[in-house]
Amino acid sequence: MGKIDKIYMSEAIKEARKALEEDEVPIGCVIVYKGRIVSRGYNQVERLHDPTAHAEMLAITSATLYLNSKWLNECSMYVTIEPCSMCAGALVLARVKDLCFGARDPKAGACGSVLNIVNNKNLNHRIKVKGGILEEQCSDLLKEFFKKKRT
């Protein structure tokens, strides 16, 4: 894991903390284009009453607007947890180049854990994936959130 990966994942963690403050599942995301963060997102499912308002989906929309392109083929996404099937599908459709995530999701992860949508040979695009970046910090945020919910 490189220094740059840690820097960008730290930014994604800052986004996840925003979600935590709003009592949302603490997942955060940034999209990087040519060494610069061009979009940020954090879960807003409860706030927006929208089951699709995941950090990744919001960041993709923001990045495509910023870059004025439906393709993100020169972009890297950093997200605090392995994307679900909806988000993984959106990453493929947006043709994201690289995906870096923190914690694995053994229940719903669609980038290698439960499914592997981002590298399905039947689809028209595949994404280079690197997991486990600042995994403990990312995982701790989720554990803190769900522990609080249970009490």
The one catalytic residue among 15, 24, 56, 82: 56
Task: Give the number of other CB atoms < 10 A from CB of residue 70.
Answer: 10
Active-site residue flag, 56 = yes
Q: Which residues contact 25 (CB under 8 A, 6 or more apart)?
A: 19, 43, 45, 142, 145
Nearest to 34 by CA among 69, 73, 80, 81: 73
Exposed e or buried b per residue across 32-60, where buried means at least 16 C-beta atoms within 10 angstroms of its C-beta: bbeeebbbbbbbbbeeeeeeebbbbbbbb
Q: What are phi and psi of 93, to 5 degrees?
A: -60, -35
CA torsion 68-19-146-118 (nearest 10°) is 10
Give the residue numbers annotated as catalytic, written as ranges: 56
